[in-house]
Amino acid sequence: MVLASSDPQSHLRVDAERNRERVLGAAKEAFSRLGFDASYHDIARSAKVGVGTVYRRFPERPALLEAVLLDILRDISFHAHSATVDRRDSWQAFEAFFEKLAGVHQRYAGLSERLAGAASPAVKTARDDWLEKLQALCAHAWAHGLRKDIGPHELHYLAGLFARRECDLANQSRSGHALAMRVILDGMRQ
């Protein structure tokens, strides 16, 4: 039997971490929907916390942007790794990962560039891990149908097309978006 902790600080830490995660989730949603200048009030309302909680957790907008970027990098790294070790249908796992990556590009276009000059060591480490996982995924996919001239940088670029206004892939109808995705994925396969 596990006894509940009587330490009030322990409860506060759990509560604070839960609020941080809620703020982070709400910030990701707000940035995706409203852009990176979404107000702290919008984020607080969505997280169902007071605006003071958002400011306490992230007193400067760059800190909030960095926390969101780190969360995205960790998530996409996890999915790249999962697609690499998925043994059921390697090509299908690769396609699902590419679609997820394109969605991240579409929702958060420009986030990385916005922090480019102020990236912390934590962001550099997360980016390095992401590139390592993407390299491993490409190496695995080469053995399962991915063209040999498609590496991590090409994969990242192709997924980024869904966020580029000049290609207009992000603003296509559902059927246009699906067609663009199918053409790109078919073009990557040997």
Alpha-carbon gap, residue 167 to 160, rounded angstroms: 10
The pLDDT tens digits of the residues spanning 54-84 come to 999 999 999 999 999 999 999 999 999 999 9
Domains of the chain: 7-59 (1.10.10.60), 61-188 (1.10.357)
pTM: 0.84
SS3 state at 189: strand
The pLDDT tens digits of the residues spanning 42-51 come to 999 999 999 9
List b or e across 57-86, with b for residues whose CB sees 16 or more CB atoms inside 10 angstroms. bbeeeeebbbbbbbbbbeebbebbbebbee
